[in-house]
Amino acid sequence: MSFDALSWSALPRLGVFLLIGGLGGALYVYAVWRERSFSAAARKLFVSQPALSAAVKKAEAELGLPIFDRTCTPLQLTDAGKAYIESAEQVFRIQRDLSRYCHDLAGLESGTLSLGGTNFFASCFLPAMIQAFNQKYPQIQLTVTESDSADLYQKLSQDALDIIVDSGTCDAALYDIVPFYTDHLLLAVPVGNPIHSRFPACCLTRQDVIDGRHLEPEVPIVPLPEFADVDFLLLGKGNDMYRRSRGLFQSAGITPRVRLYLNQLMTAFHMARQGLGATFLTDTLVSLSLPTDRLLYYRLSGHLAVRETFLAMQHKGYRTKAMAGFLASSLALYGQMPAERL
């Protein structure tokens, strides 16, 4: 989107009011709303609570209506407050996009780019992507945030991140996605589990996975109900692997014996290596992780076992040259699209 495409006509009257009145008061009001507390917002902004309260009261006086319903705990917005916050977010976005546009006028010789991913994606994909980008655009300052998917999307929606690496589902009305890689889920079971003796033709080693044998249809698939008595290590809510593992079990008609819920795929891998239980991993992690003979792997079937990895950005707002450059270099790196097409 070009800066000319930013729609001033869509900016509510309150947004014009905020621009005319200055953004200082709006920043204070917005902080109180984000923190749901005057005291917490004051600490966040490094100002005294009386000064913050005075700034909010001044904004309410200029508006002519209360912004917060102070009878509720935590604080709630009034109808006027909801319109105020919506307008403030649009003004902040225009202000930020103008700054980004000015950076772009100087080419890719300055600017910033904020990236995010879960521990797995930040470890397995971002290093090579950042290296490819830095080789072309060494002047751009990069930051990386690692967190779970739910928190990453929240940060993306709040403009704290420009691009995240993720898989699974996201709201197409809010985010644009650019697929660049496909990996496959495997069931990883500690080597000492007696179930392996029942299905010797189905077991795969790490080298088998590296060689792509798990993609060969002649390798038999063991139905998940056969693992009903096996302890599992699963990722918790807020992670795409939670949704996929839950769907796989539901499709198989079984309730797993869950020994531990974890936050990160790499943690599940290391726990499984220690014999604490079976877990779902991806062929990418198996191939890139430390060599181990402590796990054997089984093929999985169904659409939930095929995972598309993508880059996600906000649907609205100005897309900087740095963002476009990162998309181009990443897609070129993974062979999905020639760099010159972006």
Could you read off the pLDDT of 40-59 as tens digits, one per residue? Answer: 888 888 889 888 889 889 88
* Phi-psi map region of 335: left, alpha, beta (phi>0 left; psi -120 to 50 alpha): left
Helix-strand-coil split of the chain, %, nearest 5: 50, 20, 30
**Topology of domain 110-342, CATH:** D-Maltodextrin-Binding Protein; domain 2 (3.40.190)
Give the pLDDT band of residue 105 (cuts 50, 70, 90): low
Q: What is the pLDDT of residue 16?
A: 45
- CATH 1.10.10.10 positions along the chain are 3-105
Q: What is the pLDDT of residue 1?
A: 43
Is pLDDT at 74 greater than 90 in this prediction? no
Average pLDDT over residues 186-211: 95
Q: What is the pLDDT of residue 149?
A: 84
Neighbouring residues of 252: CB distance < 8 A, sequence distance ≥ 6: 223, 224, 225
- CATH 3.40.190.290 positions along the chain are 110-342
Q: What is the mean pLDDT of the chain?
A: 85
Range from 59-63, 106-110, 264-268, 311-315 carrying the lowest mean pLDDT: 106-110
Q: Select the more confidently predicted residue: 158 or 199.
A: 199
Q: What is the pLDDT of residue 202?
A: 94
Q: Select the more confidently predicted residue: 146 or 72.
A: 146
Q: What is the pLDDT of residue 106?
A: 61
Average pLDDT over residues 101-113: 67
Q: What is the pLDDT of residue 170?
A: 83
| Exposed/middle/buried for residue 246 (C-beta within 10 Å: 0-12, 13-18, 19+) | middle
Helices 126-136 & 321-333 angle (0-180, nearest 10): 120
Give the pLDDT band of residue 24 (cuts 50, 70, 90): low
Is pLDDT at 19 greater than 60 in this prediction? no
Average pLDDT over residues 182-211: 95
Give the pLDDT band of residue 252 (cuts 50, 70, 90): very high
Give the pLDDT band of residue 108 (cuts 50, 70, 90): low
**Do residues 318 and 1 make contact, with C-beta atoms less than 8 angstroms apart?**
yes
Q: What is the pLDDT of residue 109?
A: 59
Is pLDDT at 318 greater than 60 in this prediction? yes
Give the pLDDT band of residue 228 (cuts 50, 70, 90): very high
Is pLDDT at 4 greater than 70 in this prediction? no
Into which CATH architecture does domain 3-105 fall? Orthogonal Bundle (1.10)
Q: In the structure encoding, which two tokens stand for residue 97, read together? A: 């996009």
Q: What is the pLDDT of residue 41?
A: 87
Q: What is the pLDDT of residue 104?
A: 60
